[in-house]
Amino acid sequence: MNRVLKVASHRPFVSLLQTRMVSSLLISNPKYAFLKELGLQEENAGVFNGEWKASGAVVDSVSPATNEVIARVKTGTVEDYESAIQAARAGYEQWSDMTAPHRGEIVRQIGDKLRSQLQNLGKLVSLEMGKINPEGVGEVQEYVDICDYAVGLSRMFSGKVIPSERAGHVLLEQWNPLGVVGVISAFNFPCAVYGWNNALALVTGNSLVWKPAPSTPLTAIAITKLIEEVLQENKLPGGICSLVTGEADVGQALTKDPRVNLVSFTGSTEVGRIVGQQVQGRFGKILLELGGNNALLVNDDADLDMVVPATVFAAVGTAGQRCTSTRRLIVHEKVHDQVVERMKKAYAQLEARIGDPLDSNTLIGPLHNQQAVLKYKATVAEAIVQGGKVECGGQVLERSGNFVLPTIVSGLKHDAEVVHRETFAPILYVIKMKDLDEGIKINNEVKQGLSSSLFTQNISNIFKWMGPKGSDCGIVNVNIPTSGAEIGGAFGGEKETGGGRESGSDAWKQYCRRSTCTINYSKDLPLAQGIKFE
Ligand SMILES: *[C@@H]1O[C@H](CO)[C@@H](O)[C@H](O)[C@H]1NC(C)=O
Ligand SMILES: *[C@@H]1O[C@H](CO)[C@@H](O)[C@H](O)[C@H]1NC(C)=O
């Protein structure tokens, strides 16, 4: 977590102390020169409303790998938020007047700017969030991809022309922007999730206010600086993409503000439930991406050579901190023991690959903070109490940073309390199923409904799994793991996952209001349904 730094007084010994602290920031270390190439400094203003100016507390952004301070951020207050929303509203006036293909051209330039900093930004994501570098770069690549997608979309998000029942009339739909889109994003995808929202909201004609996770402000600042360059080069107001870092009070101000037409929230179900109700209470629009409790089903006819690497990737990737991480491995009883043995073998090789996320040998980085480590420990202990057997892992590593061993727990009942809870850590529960029907029931019995996958070779099973009696999740995979979505499809889930969809398919519609337009080009006044009104 961020530690709030006391503002220094003017006593001489304090400035001495400060000098020492400044020199120990990672940003001063030549090894991390990419931070300065991204325009970051030792202390960064965490608010952008066309200008960089912040008046809140100064916080440390900390590397989860060592708990050293990367750099500092002066965060935003509720007053700073006010300046940002005003800038976003003013920016909207100009932005929404531009044609959609012209807006697409600006988004194309944003994509190019991100491409030029792909590696640097990817490193920053790894350093600040803790995910391994290929995943950090992958996140930036996702933002680039959605920019490309949005550029095409800017010439394609057409409405329908519908046959009118009235002579001399035409009935059509036009998709108009909502106004301001507020994005509250989570620590685990500090770049891609904003990217999905940013690119689609922009081409459809909206401006944005972004409130990133309190623990990943540097990534948000670096991204916003790149967007700022593009807006400046095109003589557009920076407020179109406003940023306010800060704590829950800023998030609250945004959630309650009727000037924010859509709140796109990624985070826990617990907080999302409150955000959803507050936004609904003022009849704003919501897009919720909340918790998941994703299962991977292994039927007796599955290709186990595929199952093992797929499960390892999905269970330990991002150290189990993806919304789509596999948390439950539901295995047919005929192959259960064999799968557990093979998984244990694969996990045994992982220990040597835990480490610095920026090291190319590393497969598993740290958990994001110490709280997550405590949750991991507590959850493993509870799993044992509830009848689980730790097949491997279960330990916190004795070294600096927030490192834990990836863990497999077997023997728990499918409805054990701990199994039904989402823990953001690399803990995998292996559960037996008698047959696919029982597996589907277990898949669907949790409150969350984000991602799911089935490994089978049987075409009947595949279609059952996809259909109305199959998985009730938003993401229903076959023979690929639960994580690793691509941007072309709509991303999101049902039930306590919140129902939102982001990224591809027709997710763009959530950033629009639909205008149903009936136009009379005749000389008569026929009313619909043949009503006479004389
Ligand atoms: C596929 O599964 C169905 C039932 O789930 C079963 O009836 C059928 O025999 C299976 N087909 C093959 C080729 O194994
Ligand atoms: C359609 O337009 C004509 C010509 O302006 C007008 O006479 C007629 O009343 C209009 N019909 C409706 C439904 O407004």
Task: Tell me the three state secondary structure of residue 533.
Answer: coil
Q: What is the pLDDT of residues 259-269, one digit of tens each?
A: 999 999 999 99
The count of C-alpha atoms lying within 13 angstroms of the C-alpha of 379, restricted to the half-sphere facing its C-beta, is 28
Banded pLDDT at 531 (limits 50, 70, 90)? confident
How large is the average pLDDT for residues 240-259?
98
> Does residue 6 carry a pLDDT above 80?
no
Domains of the chain from N-terminus onward:
78-290+503-514 (3.40.605.10), 294-486 (3.40.309.10)
Supply the pLDDT for residue 525: 64
pLDDT at residue 9 in the model: 35
Alpha-carbon separation of residue 282 from 80, 206, 261, 285, 354 (angstroms): 22, 19, 10, 9, 47
Residue to mutate (ligand 2; options 525, 527, 532, 533; most atoms within 8 A of CB): 525
Distances in whole angstroms, Cα of residue 338 to Cα of each of 128, 143, 335: 38, 40, 5
Of 410, 316, 418, 314, the C-alpha closest to 367 is 316
Q: Which among 204, 143, 154 has a CA at the least distance from the CA of 178? A: 204
What is the model's pLDDT at position 20?
Answer: 41
Distance 336 CA to ligand 1 centre (A): 20
The whole-number average pLDDT for the span 288-308 is 97
Q: Is the pLDDT reported for residue 358 higher than 70?
A: yes
Q: What is this structure's pTM?
A: 0.93
What is the residue whose two structure tokens read 């930004």? Answer: 121
Q: Over the stretch 102-136, which tens digit does the pLDDT of each residue have? A: 999 999 999 999 999 999 999 999 999 999 999 99
The active-site residue out of 135, 139, 228, 289 is: 289
- So what's the pLDDT on residue 23? 53
Q: Given a cut of 60, is residue 18 above it in pLDDT?
A: no
| Nearest CA, atom 6, ligand 2 | 523
Whole-number pLDDT of residue 21: 47
Answer whether 114's CB lies under 8 Å from 124's CB: no
Quote the mean pLDDT of the chain.
Answer: 94
458 lines ligand 1 (CB under 6 A): yes
pLDDT, tens only, 488-524: 999 999 999 999 999 999 999 999 999 999 999 987 6
pLDDT at 19 over 70: no
Is the CB of residue 383 less than 8 Å from the CB of residue 328?
A: no
C-alpha–C-alpha distance, residues 188 and 424, integer Å: 10
Nearest CA to ligand 1 atom 13: 458
Beta strands in 161-250 (DSSP E): 161-162, 169-177, 180-184, 207-211, 241-244
End-to-end CA gap in the chain: 70
Q: What integer pLDDT is reported at residue 13 of this predicted model? A: 40
- Output Rg (C-alpha) for the chain, integer angstroms: 25
Beta bridge partners of residue 515, listed in sequence order: 174
The alpha carbon of 513 and the centre of ligand 2 are apart by a number of angstroms equal to 27
289 catalytic? Reply is yes
